[in-house]
Amino acid sequence: MIVLERTAYLTMLAHCQSLYPQEACGFLAGANGRLSAVYLVENVLHSPVRFEMHPQQQLEAMLDSEEKGLPDLVIYHSHPQGPPRPSPTDLRLAYYPDWPQLIVSLESRHAPVVRAFSITATAVSERKWYLE
């Protein structure tokens, strides 16, 4: 189960809105499935349809969350003009098979829709998530 603390959720949404119409990306981190920390990572592609996390920032975020005792990681990225489901590129690349991914759709810009998935090279499945 994925539980997002409200402050982390709102920070993630604000990050996605601030980079519109480019895709935003980052991590949420927490313990016992409860995600409380947000790490904003630069999308080095600065693209409206693709993302790739800045490798150094990604590494630093992972080390920092580990240091703080927040081992549960979830990756997020936005679909500024696309639906809240993995794009063909997300499926093809399956960059992060070890972690759930949140997709923030800003298709209706002022009514973001967030869905969670596990995406591996061979399968995609939707995950349940809750806001607290």
Residues in contact with Zn ion by CB under 5 A are 87, 90
The span from the CA of 39 to the CA of 127, in Å, is 21
Closer by beta carbon to Zn ion, 24 or else 61:
24
Closer Cβ to Zn ion, 40 or 70, answer by number: 40
**Which residues have a Cβ under 8 Å from the Cβ of 99 and sit 6 or more positions away?**
73, 74, 75
Question: Residue 69 CB, nearest distance to Zn ion (Å)?
Answer: 30
Considering beta carbons, is residue 68 or 92 the nearer one to Zn ion?
92
Angle value at C-alpha 22, between 107 and 40, nearest 5 degrees: 105
Q: Tell me the closest approach of the beta carbon of residue 104 to Zn ion, in angstroms.
A: 10
DSSP tally for the chain: helices H, then strands E: 3, 8
Shortest-Cβ-distance residue relative to Zn ion: 90
Distance, CA of 80 to CA of 77 (rounded, Å): 9
Cα torsion at 14, 17, 22, 28 (round to 10°)? 30
Closest approach of Cβ 23 to Zn ion, in Å? 7
* Sequence-ordered list of residues with C-beta below 8 angstroms from that of 57, at least 6 positions apart, any chain: 39, 41, 42
Nearest approach in angstroms of CB 111 to Zn ion is 19
Cβ closer to Zn ion: 42 or 90? 90
